Amino acid sequence: MTEHPSQSVKFYQTGTHTVGNRLLDETKRTVQASVDRSNAITSGHRACQGCGEALGARYALDSAMRATDGQLVAVNATGCLEVFTTPYPETSWQLPWLHSLFGNAPAVATGVAAAFRVKGRKDVRVIAQGGDGSTTDIGFGCLSGMFERNDDVLYICYDNEAYMNTGVQRSSATPPFARTATTQAIGEAPGNVFGTGKNLPLIAMAHNIPYVATASVADLHDLEYKVTKAMGMRGARYIHILVPCPLGWGSASDATIQVARLAIESGLFPLFEAEHGEVTQVSKIRRRVMAEDYLKVQKRFAHLFRKEGKDVDKIAVVQRMADHNIKRFGLMDEETAQ
Amino acid sequence: MHHQIEGSEAVARAVALCRPEVVCAYPITPQTHIVEGVGALVKKGQLTDCEFINVESEFAALSVAIGASAAGARTYTATASQGLLFMAEAVYNAAGLGLPIVMTIGNRAIGAPINIWNDHSDSMSMRDAGWIQLYAETNQEAVDLHIQAFRLAEELSCPVMVCMDGFILTHAYERIDLPSQQEVDAFLPRFEPVQVLDPAHPYSIGAMVGPEAFTEVRYLAHDKQVQALQLIPEIGQVFSEVFGRASGGLIHEYKSDGAETIVVALGSVNGTIKEVIDVMRGDGLAIGSVSICSFRPFPLDELRDALKSAKRVVVIEKNLAPGLGGVLASNVRMALRGATATVYTVIAGLGGRPILMNSLHDVFIAASEDKLTDVQFLDLNQAVVDLELERARTTRHSGPTAESILRQNAKVGE
Ligand SMILES: Cc1ncc(C[n+]2csc(CCOP(=O)(O)OP(=O)(O)O)c2C)c(N)n1
Ligand code: SF4
Ligand SMILES: [Mg+2]
């Protein structure tokens, strides 16, 4: 297995989790730290303050640009990322970029890759990207088809756990109990009433594609490493990035990284890599937090924390999901697990 | 060279002669033999430098085509019926993006009730998507139109649908003159895209456009179709010079000069219509026909001119606009605005019902005596319809109409 920079060096300052980028070896510093970064999504776009998707996409695309020496094409599904980086003539994209529809980005990317292959341009690589709605719902068929054919495309899902661009409606990636505009916090069963969210990384793994990884804006170094690694491979690859949305989640816009970190440290969003359907690497939880700590900083779960008292049963359901992940992926070392 | 081959096979070979670089395939009757044929040519190594991609739906087929075309590849796919509807969103998108994709439609009815046989409901549903729509009268014309379609699409940066009647053409074995590779290469220049995804010149394709420019963008889509009105006959002319036979163009006139009754139709039914006209001309009736090859753009002026002698126009319509009549007839009326000719709509051949010479003969005679209603259904079994209407009136839980019609038919047949 390739050496994992964010784990081989541990310069964390207690309490802040800041990685001492400048203390790292030149080659291991973040792409963003370099003056040569491509600025694939340049400044001036219209994302909300603290948008996790804007941050995730910027890091992902700049890493992929570096990994491919700038020979990169991006296909974008409809959604926040597409909308806030455009309209004409104010596009933020500094690389060739194509938006077709909400549900077809994986197929469009297949076509782009096929065109470059037939023209003998093996150096030009293709990324497709979309939100959780386009990935886990409307574009799911096209994504599965692209995986099954093992087309030479890296697909990145920016998961903010709802249809944000249309005003925060529930998607199949919305977690249980979350309040959205179509699962309002009213009535007998407030918030999202069923499901645990569709687990697309596991579904992607079931296609036995060369590479699947999860990543988070709370660990941008790790995100860059995974995108870089994916661009070093051929065939269908999938990276699922958790990107908090202050607007939809009701979290503070300066707390995006913190919320994303709580998702990891609680076990609710496991960070791992898988190759050909087998998990090959897992990021261990460093300092475990309870699911409750993650839920209570987001207004979308406010109905679980009413003045009359906490909804302990529902919080316990979410805790069980976290526990299950910790066990399933081995997220904790024996000694920290207690 | 002449070959005795199936229409689908002929089209597959014609498409291959155009050297497509990306071909997407998803099966639906009656289009299957076409994509199978192209796939086989790729596998045999007769069509080289071509990515043949089996996809998981028609929506994906056209989406892959969109990506490939935007990256500068000559791109082809084919579909029919439910498949065309399944890709509807991408159909509009391809046109909006100005991507010169060529797509064959093996015309077939749309369900429910599900029906695999021919009519024009499928392509008609996409008539305003911004694609050029050409309708082939014969398999030879289907071959020729595909070769012209790539040139037309690429000159205008506009996608083109070549519509050929399912089964009637796609599955018919006929003698076809297939051109040589040299001839096609001489006719069809290399694809030079006006916009292409290229890391050396990055730009954004398909970004959002607001009210301040959307009308202009749409106007230019209309203008492209207007330009096509010039270009289609020009390309047809060059085609006839290179290949030695006339094919394509906007309309084909048959004995319509000075005719008082003129029949208008799309596609293969024109063959039958011409035979009926020959019979009726023999009986001294002043009747002729116009076959429309280019339905989009719609050749308003050419048609108006071709119909100038008509006292009446009979539109043979292989589609139904429920609540109105027929789509083609509405368009023909537009061409005749201000003229005095009466336009009759005859809905015929729905879901593959054979359009018989006798039936056409009767309807043309009735038309020439102005005894037709505005909208007429050819060979409609009125007795069965009446029974079914009566049953629905008297029974609330009357069940599936289609089934009871078939039961009635069986009884009538007993
Ligand atoms: C076929 C179709 N259905 C619905 C829409 C409306 N729509 C546009 S973006 C969007 C939500 C996108 O959600 P997601 O993919 O999660 O991305 P996000 O905006 O959350 O980043 C929806 C529902 C559309 N454009 N096309
Ligand atoms: S709504 Fe959410 S995802 Fe969309 S731009 Fe705002 S913060 Fe980002
Ligand atoms: Mg979303």
- Model confidence, pTM: 0.96
Tokens (6 digits) for B333:
């009326």
pLDDT in tens, B320-378: 999 999 999 999 999 999 999 999 999 999 999 999 999 999 999 999 999 999 999 99
A247 touches chain B (CB under 8 A): no
Q: Which residue's C-alpha comes closest to atom 2 of ligand 2? A: A245
Radius of gyration (Cα) for chain B, nearest Å? 22
Burial A222-240 (b: 16+ CB within 10 A, else e): bbbbbbbbbbeeeebbbbb
| Ligand 1 atom 11 nearest Cα | A163
Q: Which residues of B touch A94 (CB under 8 A)?
A: 202
Closest partner residue to B51 (CB to CB) among A95, A100, A118 is A118
Tens digit of each residue's pLDDT (9 = 90 or more) over B269-278: 999 999 999 9
3-state helix, strand, coil in chain B (%, to 5): 45, 20, 35
Q: What is the pLDDT of residue A247?
A: 98
- Rounded to whole angstroms, the Cα distance separating A59 from A62 reads 5
- In this complex, do A83 and B90 lie within 8 Å of one another by their Cβ atoms? no
- Whether residues B68 and A142 touch (CB distance < 8 A) is answered with no
Q: Which pLDDT belongs to residue A19? A: 55
According to DSSP, residue A23 is labeled G
Say if the Cβ atoms of B204 and A91 lie within 8 Å.
Answer: yes
In this predicted structure, the answer to whether residue B310 has a pLDDT above a threshold of 60 is yes
Pick the ligand that lies closest to the CA of residue B92: 1
Find where tokens 């297939």 sit: B178
Phi then psi for B214, rounded to 5 degrees? -60, -40
Residues of B in contact with A77 (CB under 8 A): none
According to the model, what pLDDT value does residue A11 have? 52
pLDDT of residue A1: 43
The shortest C-alpha distance from A260 to chain B (Å) reads 30
CA distance A106 to A103: 8
User: Cα separation of B202 and B176, whole Å?
Assistant: 45
Q: Smallest Cα–Cα separation from B3: which of B179, B171, B135? A: B179
Distances in Å between the Cα of A171 and the Cα atoms of A79, A128, A263, B91, B221 are 13, 19, 18, 26, 35
Containing H/E element for A56?
A: helix A52-67
Q: What is the pLDDT of residues B186-222, one digit of tens each?
A: 999 999 999 999 999 999 999 999 999 999 999 999 9
Contacts with B, A 124-143, CB within 8 Å: 124, 141-142
Chain A CB within 8 Å of residue B27 CB = no
Pairwise CB contact (< 8 Å): B97 & A95: no
Q: Mean pLDDT across chain B, nearest whole number? A: 96
Q: Chain A contact for B363, CB < 8 A?
A: no
Contacts of B390 (CB under 8 A, 6+ apart): none
* pLDDT string in tens for chain A (338-residue length): 445 555 555 555 444 455 566 777 777 788 988 888 999 999 999 999 999 999 999 999 999 999 999 999 999 999 999 999 998 899 999 999 999 999 999 999 999 999 999 999 999 999 999 999 999 999 999 999 999 999 999 999 999 999 999 999 999 999 999 999 999 999 999 999 877 789 999 999 999 999 999 999 999 999 999 999 999 999 999 999 999 999 999 999 999 999 999 999 999 999 999 999 999 999 999 999 999 999 999 999 999 999 999 999 999 999 999 999 999 999 998 655 54
Beta sheet of B294-296, edge-to-edge order: B51-54, B22-25, B75-79, B102-107, B160-165, B132-135, B294-296
Q: What single DSSP character describes residue A241?
A: E
pLDDT at B226: 98
The pLDDT-based confidence of B412 (bands split at 50, 70, 90) is: low
For residue B112, say if its preceding peptide bond is cis, omega within 30 degrees of 0.
yes
Q: Are B254 and B306 in contact (CB under 8 A)?
A: no
For ligand 1, mutation pick of A85, A166, A172, A243 (most atoms within 8 Å of CB): A166
Shortest Cα–Cα distance, B79 to chain A (Å): 17
Burial of B152 (0-12, 13-18, 19+ CB in 10 A): buried
Does pLDDT of B67 surpass 70? yes
Whether the CB of A134 sits within 6 Å of ligand 1: yes
Does any CB of chain B come closer than 8 Å to the CB of residue A111?
yes
Q: Residue B254 is encoded by which pair of tokens?
A: 């048959």
- CATH of the domain spanning B251-377: 3.40.50.920
Cβ atoms within 10 A of the Cβ of A286, count? 14
Q: For residue B399, what pLDDT is reported?
A: 85
> What domains lie within chain A, and their CATH numbers?
25-337 (3.40.50.970)
Domain B2-243 has CATH 1.10.3720.10: no
Residues A146 and B254: their CA atoms lie apart, in Å, by 50
Cα of A247 from ligand 3 centre, angstroms: 11
Collapsing DSSP to helix, strand or coil, B57 comes out as: coil
Here the tokens at position B176 are 């076809």
Residue B264, Cβ neighbours under 10 Å: how many? Answer: 27
Please give the ipTM for the structure prediction: 0.96
Closest approach of A320 to chain B, Cα-based (Å): 37
